[in-house]
Amino acid sequence: MLRRGARIRAMKNVVVLISGVGSNMARIVDCCRDERWPARIAAVVSNRPDAAGLERARERGVPVLVVDHRDFDSRAAFDRALGDAVERHAPDWVALAGFMRVLGDDFVARFQGRLVNIHPSLLPAFTGLHTHRRALAAGVRVHGATVHLVEPALDSGPILAQAVVPVLDDDDEHRLARRVLAAEHRLYPAVLRWLIEGRLRTDGPRAVLRAEPGESLLLLPTETPDV
Ligand code: GAR
């Protein structure tokens, strides 16, 4: 029995799933350490043995493991093995950070409510791949990134927070991608921290943050973008 007013400050476990460079993952690991989140990054899991992010995780002392999708005959078998590997770390939160395999409904159901993703567009615009190229082709003046809870359909689920960046006249796909990625690096760690601290929840289609000064679920562009 807890004394009245006693505070529980349980450490939460976070498992991060990657497929590539892992820059979002590295930011999450660094912020968790530097900002002393009540959490540990329990493991980084990749579906690709050659993902550069694996080395970045190792350098940071985070346990890594690979569940190579090519070792499995079916998507369902891969999803089961991946789910088992993730589950072994008793995750409170599972963060997809550049994880480039579509996950089946069973995997999503297994972790629903604690599965989050970052997508490089202002959802619901530009689901899927090549979002920066498509944003340029569409002539939009704003672009950005979205962190959302994952539901079975591709790039769908309640939006938690968004970061907006301008599209500049001389942008190409790579320059725009760099600007969005810089915004992702601010957005994703902030959202994960709020979730871990129990300050962010959804109310119907809308996310609600018990915000501290200076915090917002909408990250606006910096006055003079440096990329
Ligand atoms: C990020 O831009 C992320 O939003 C995107 O992949 C990149 C991964 O970069 N994710 C998706 O497109 C998922 N649909 P990182 O490996 O350096 O974090």
Could you tell me the distance, in angstroms and rounded to a whole number, from the CA of residue 92 to the centre of ligand 1?
Answer: 22
Take residue 142 and report the two structure tokens written for it: 């704003």
pLDDT of residue 155: 83
Q: What Rg, from alpha-carbon coordinates, does the chain have?
A: 18
- Any idea which fold 1-111 has? Rossmann fold (3.40.50)
Pocket of ligand 1 (CB under 6 A): 18, 20-24, 53, 97-98, 118-120, 145, 181, 184
- Any idea which fold 117-227 has? Rossmann fold (3.40.50)
pLDDT of residue 153: 82
**Per-residue pLDDT tens digits for 42-66:** 999 999 999 999 999 999 999 999 9
Ligand 1 atom nearest 26 alpha carbon: 18
pLDDT of residue 84: 98
pLDDT of residue 154: 81
pLDDT of residue 22: 98
Q: Is 119 a catalytic residue?
A: yes
pLDDT of residue 7: 53
Same topology for domains 1-111 and 117-227, yes or no? yes
Q: Where are the domains of the chain?
A: 1-111, 117-227
Q: Is 93 left (phi over 0), alpha (psi -120 to 50) or beta?
A: beta
Specify burial of residue 195 (Cβ count, 10 A radius: 0-12, 13-18, 19+): buried
28: which DSSP letter? Answer: H
Ligand 1 atom nearest 20 alpha carbon: 16
pLDDT tens digits for the chain (227 residues)?
A: 455 544 555 899 999 999 999 999 999 999 999 999 999 999 999 999 999 999 999 999 999 999 999 999 999 999 999 999 999 999 999 999 999 999 999 999 999 999 999 999 999 999 999 999 999 999 999 999 999 999 988 888 999 999 999 999 999 999 999 999 999 999 999 999 999 999 999 998 899 999 999 999 999 987 556 66
**Nearest Cα to Cα of residue 29 among 3, 6, 63:** 63
**Per-residue pLDDT tens digits for 96-138:** 999 999 999 999 999 999 999 999 999 999 999 999 999 999 9
Given 69, 89, 119, 132, which residue is catalytic?
119
Ligand 1 atom nearest 117 alpha carbon: 13
